[in-house]
Amino acid sequence: MTSMMSWQYMIRSIGNMIIPPQCPSCHELVSSDGMCGECWARLKTITPPACVQCGRGFDFDAGVARCGRCLTQPPDFDRGIAAVRYNAMSKRLILGLKYGGRHDMTPILGRMMANQGASLLHQADWIVPLPLHWTRHYSRGYNQSTELARAAMKAAGVSPKIYRPDLIKRSKRTENQGHKTRQQRRQNMRGAFRLCKNKDVVKGASILIIDDVLTTGASLSSAARCLKAGGAKHVAVLVVARVG
């Protein structure tokens, strides 16, 4: 293992000498793979106090564990953590990966998720990327949630044996959620996922779903309902960014 790591480090060092690493946002030269200080400062990490269920950051410590929305209209997942707030900088990184094929964004986003959500990554029995409908996967060529899940697991040192993209499937091609209200999003996602197989594996398990952005949580709630209907004991979510 040590020998392999040494070779990987050597190959990476030679590669960096030939093509110096750049900040994926502004293309400024950086000393190692990552973001420049100026772009990094524009990301707003979500730190406690925050809602334990949806990950929304609190402006001040009110002495409560859940936000008002989760108390009155709780999502179907039990725990949620977001690495950063959804702002201009995090949006640029996420959309670059999601629609621009900017896979150089993936290791950075994965490290941010691992830093904030290490507890969820290590406590999970199974880790599941939120699946795309096959038509969207075909047109895009990849699922950004799959890329993020692998990167976060690698950054956190989690065994790849618990990575299970085969547990649920998106069985319904839903409309774009962009301009829908909370209720419309929930209705749009109704019945969007189904359990694929291995129901015995799901029963009693603690499952972590990985996605890029959490807005109202409708998509993640729908996936969580599917897993809980299959017998999952606990479903948590880990995302790059939280809107609001």
E-strand spans in the chain? Answer: 79-85, 126-129, 168-170, 193-195, 206-214, 234-242
- DSSP per-residue letters across 143-206: -HHHHHHHHHHHHHT--GGGB-TTSEEE-S-PPP-TT--HHHHHHHTTT-EEE-S-HHHHTT-E
Please indicate, yes or no, whether residues 77 and 1 belong to a single structural domain of this protein: no
State the residue for tokens 């017998």: 231
Q: How many C-beta atoms surround the C-beta of residue 117 within 10 A?
A: 27
Q: What is the pLDDT of residues 102-153, one digit of tens each?
A: 998 999 999 999 999 999 999 999 999 999 999 989 989 999 999 999 999 9
CA distance 244 to 20: 36
Distances (CA, A) of 74 to 57, 77, 80, 82, 115: 16, 8, 12, 17, 26
Q: Are residues 174 and 68 in the same domain?
A: yes
Pairwise pLDDT comparison (5 vs 191), residue with the higher score: 191
- Are the CB atoms for 206 and 21 separated by under 8 Å? no
Q: How many CB atoms lie within 10 A of CB 140?
A: 13
Q: Is 124 in the same domain as 143?
A: yes
Same domain? 22 vs 104: no
User: Does 77 lie in the same domain as 160?
Assistant: yes
Helix axis angle, 106-123 relative to 144-156, nearest 10°? Answer: 70
Tell me, yes or no, whether 33 and 98 share the same domain.
no
* pLDDT reported for residue 182: 61
Which pLDDT value is given to residue 110?
97
Condensed to tens digits (0 to 9), the pLDDT of residues 72-93 reads: 999 999 999 999 999 999 999 9
Biggest alpha carbon distance in the chain? Answer: 56
Q: How many domains does the chain have?
A: 2
Residues 182 and 108 in one domain: yes
Mark whether 6 and 117 lie in a shared domain: no
Q: Residue 85 contacts by C-beta under 8 Å, 6 or more apart in sequence?
A: 44, 45, 46, 57, 241, 242
Q: Do 234 and 119 belong together in one domain?
A: yes
**One-letter amino acid identity for 150?**
R
Range of the domain at 12: 1-41
Average pLDDT over the chain reads 87
Mean pLDDT score, 20-36: 81
Ranked by mean pLDDT, which of 31-45, 101-115, 184-198 comes out on top? Answer: 101-115
Same domain, 95 and 130: yes
Residues 130 and 32 in one domain: no
Q: For the CA atoms of 172, 177, 181, 184, what is the dihedral angle to 10 degrees? A: -10
The model's pTM is 0.86
- Per-residue pLDDT, 222: 94
What pLDDT, in 10s, does the model give residues 113-123?
Answer: 999 999 999 99
Question: What does the alpha-carbon distance between residue 168 and residue 207 come to, in Å, rounded to a whole number?
Answer: 11
Compute the average pLDDT of residues 174-200: 69
Q: How far apart are CA 146 and CA 206, in angstroms?
A: 19
Tell me, what CATH number does 201's domain have? 3.40.50
The answer to whether residues 99 and 197 belong to one domain is yes
